[in-house]
Amino acid sequence: MPASHLARRTVLAGAGLLVPGLALAAPRYDAVLWRGEGRNPYGAPGYRSLSKAVAAAPANGARPFRILVTRGVWDEQVVIDKPFIHLVGEDRRASVISHLAASGLTAPDGKRWGTFRTPTLFVRAPDFAATRLTIQNAFDGLAEMTKPGGLHSHDGAGPQAVALMLDKGSDRARLSEVDILSYQDTLFPDAGSSLFERCLVTGSYDFIFGAGRALFDQCEIRSLVRPVDPVEGYIVAPSTPIDQPVGFVFHQCRLTKSGATKPGSVYLGRPWRPSSAFPDGRYGDPRYVGMSAFIDCWMDDHIAPEGWTEMWYTGKDGNPRTMLQPEEARFSQFRPRGPGVGPFKRGRWLSSREAKALVAAARL
């Protein structure tokens, strides 16, 4: 075979392209999501659901188990409970892992879902990776909140609908060119470390929240309109443990908005203090002091000039509306640009040296 033909076959195989007339080997996958009849063209076992593909992976794998997510909507709730599961999408926007669940809706067991049971994808094992696909919670939060008698966030069983949760057991998760879509409480990096590169995250209220360590590098963070509330949104609600120096760090990201989102209506974030049980009662745990920083980010005009704001928690005296101020948390920014840049007096301004060190500390 001429060297030029061999080189061409090598390039095409690496890109995952199947070209009629060329007998090339597809890139190696361990499993393929496949609804077609007969053998799939990728030379790997085919499965009709992601859960079944994950079940086929070794329990304690020491190398990546690569699952090709082919084009289509794969409607299921999935738990990743094995290490080194790597999801590779055939098409970033057409390879979709989807499920519909919201806190206030009734689950199959007859109980309300509650926020922590809603994720489309739970990751509970280390070294998870995903690239070029979409993870979404299909619950239509805007439609629900704008209809008479719809679910509202102040109800306690409202429109919270998580797309992705990095749960206990997750660590070193890496997502690249992934769209993570929902309306409220979209992304829940609650454990371990994670890296999001060139991803899109959409939502309105507290749509990136939790206690984990996460670096968002060159991502788009898109705020969605929320016409039913006076405040249209909060991007982050970190619950970072006080002994953990890094929470959510956004580096060279773009903070964008849907068209109808009002100027100055979205805060960078507010500090979430979850409750824990103590000998003298259950109340907001002082060990959680949220940390987040926006470094070298472009911001559209929807960002509130104060930057950061307060958030309620249950006080030791039982008052459910005790307020945790942003000055009591660890919120900061460095060199923002764009029409949404304000004085951000409620967050700390970092020096160049501090910003560089913080990005380095957030990396995997």
Q: What is the DSSP string of 81-99?
A: -STTEEEEESSTTTEEEEE
206 is catalytic: yes
Tell me the two tokens of residue 257. Answer: 């908005």
Going by C-alpha positions, the residue among 288, 182, 193, 174 that lies closest to residue 237 is 288
Catalytic residue among 30, 179, 185, 285: 185
Tell me the β-bridge partners of 97. 74, 135
Q: How far apart are CA 250 and CA 196, in angstroms?
A: 10
Residue 286 tokens, joined = 């002082």
The residues that bridge with 308 in the sheet, in sequence order, are 269
Q: Is 171 helix (H, G, I), strand (E, B) or coil?
A: strand
> Using an 8 Å Cβ cutoff, are 43 and 26 in contact?
yes
And the tokens for 84? 């080194």
CA distance 218 to 239: 23
- Rounded to whole angstroms, the Cα distance separating 44 from 27 reads 10
Rounded Cα distance between 134 and 19, Å, is: 25
Q: In this structure, are residues 268 and 347 in contact, taking their beta carbons and an 8 Å threshold?
A: yes
* Residue of 127, 190, 206, 217 with catalytic role: 206
Return the active site residues.
185, 206
